Homo-oligomer: A and B are copies of this chain.
Amino acid sequence: MKRSAYFISDGTGITAETLGQSLLAQFENITFSKFTRPYIDSVEKARAMVQQINTAAEVDGERPIIFDTIVDREIRDVLAQCNGFMIDIFASFLAPLEQELSSRSSYSVGKAHSIGQNSNYAERISAVNFALDNDDGARTQHYDKADLILVGVSRCGKTPTCLYMALQYGIRAANYPLTEDDMERLQLPAALTPYKKKLFGLSIDPDRLTAIRNERKPNSRYASFAQCEFEVREVEGLFRRENIPHINSTHFSVEEISAKILVEQGVERRLK
């Protein structure tokens, strides 16, 4: 069975998309075709949207599921005429919140993901630059300004995790690769020892690491299972000896790895 799902907003569509994805993920036996439709901010665009939804309803033989965060009443009323099953996110929660907060909602469009609302927007972009400048051990002289320093073998997921934490939460995360040299010394690189409390280790299953490295450098010693297994074993030993908190990234997304690191290190997200 196949159903269409639309995430519709007068802003970026991120809220409708995030909530919609979460809810639909609970129905594993249904295949959804998913479409995000941002900036539906006029009656004309809403009318065109209704046509698109109605066409999908005909093709699918089932009405699409619509998640919307449209603020404007008139535009929402037009959209509501479509042949879809409406999950109206703002309408469901804004009225009870207004009552609890004894305050009127501003009903302003596109607030959540705008720069204006984000007092920490500049901080997020600056954290992205920090992650890029301090990626892969490139520089170590700014570790005093880091919130976190991820350590682990090459290609275990350090960089995407740092970028995610920077973009999403404005967290300044550097990363430092533990290479064969460090392993043979069996101790923490000197650049890291002053910042031991900021360190968090990423590990990975050797066979997964082998697969990832083979995509970068096929059939190299670097990508061999023996080398990957050796590095992972040495690094995990180091984490244990030095009491560095660590997780195995193999089965986790950057979202999950980030959430786990922040909980474990007690770092608060920088939310506006």
Binding site for B on A (CB under 8 A): 3, 11-15, 17-19, 21-23, 25-30, 34-36, 38-39, 65, 69, 71, 85, 87, 89-90, 92-94, 96-97, 100-101, 103, 105-108, 110-118, 121, 125, 128, 132, 157, 159-160, 163-164, 167, 251-256, 258-260, 262-263, 268-269, 271-272
Interchain nearest-CB distance for A170 vs B (Å): 12
Query: A163-B163, A167-B167 are known contacts. Are A38 and B259 too (CB-CB below 8 A)?
Result: yes
A21 to B93, CA, bound (A): 12
**Cβ B29 vs Cβ A103 within 8 A:** yes
Q: Which residues of B contact A118 (CB under 8 A)?
A: 253
**Cβ A23 vs Cβ B106 within 8 A:** no
A162 to B96, CA, bound (A): 38
**Cβ A19 vs Cβ B21 within 8 A:** no
**Cβ B160 vs Cβ A128 within 8 A:** yes
A111 to B24, CA, bound (A): 10
Residue of B whose beta carbon sits closest to that of A28: B106
**Cβ B15 vs Cβ A105 within 8 A:** no
In the complex, which of the residues B65, B90, B106, B268 contacts A27, with contact meaning CB atoms closer than 8 Å? B106
Further contacts, 8 of them, CB under 8 A, given A14-B259, A164-B167:
A19-B93, A26-B71, A26-B90, A26-B105, A26-B106, A38-B263, A65-B101, A121-B253
A112 to B18, CA, bound (A): 8
In the complex, which of the residues B116, B167, B263, B272 contacts A163, with contact meaning CB atoms closer than 8 Å? B167
